[in-house]
Amino acid sequence: MPQGEGETVRLRPPRNTLNERAVGWWRAQWLLMTAVPVVPLAVLGALIEPARFWLLLPAAVLAAAGTATAVLFPLWWFRTHRWEVTEDAVYVLTGFFWQEWRIAPMSRIQTVDTVRGPLEQLFRLATVTVTTASAKGAVRIEGLDHEVAADLAERLTRITRDTPGDAT
């Protein structure tokens, strides 16, 4: 027991960071999300003379907030998202305010999916999702270089295929 030995035990961060392009990808996502309310507001503001101030003001506030988030936060997210695949397990850390470490052993992995959304393709990134037999045990690694992701998926698939058992 750690108390008896006077030790503190911590989870060490996984070894790998995501691809640097993930920062750009997150920024693009945020800017798009910001554009969804801002653009209609701005267009309406340009067209409707009497309500111009009350339409352009929220548009400006939202645009400023969205842009600031898009510039600053991804740098921070980049440092808080880490992953690692060893011979025995997949290990992922996400979040800062709500940190979450997920560990899935190789022997229990059931499926390995690689998904590349349109934005991810633009940044040559991919998301690898590793599922186990548990409804709540899926592990997602977002923002990997697409070649790294393809190699990883292939490696995981090979290892899980060679592991006997039905993974439950």
CB of 29 to another protein, least distance (A): 24
One residue of 22, 63, 104, 112 binding another protein per CB under 8 A: 104
Nearer to another protein, 21 or 140 (CB): 140
One residue of 139, 144, 149, 152 binding another protein per CB under 8 A: 139
Query: Is there binding between residue 164 and another protein (CB under 8 A)?
Result: no
Cβ pair 164, 129 in contact under 8 A: no
One residue of 50, 100, 162, 164 binding another protein per CB under 8 A: 100
Backbone angles phi, psi at 89, to 5 degrees: -155, 160
One residue of 49, 50, 118, 136 binding another protein per CB under 8 A: 136
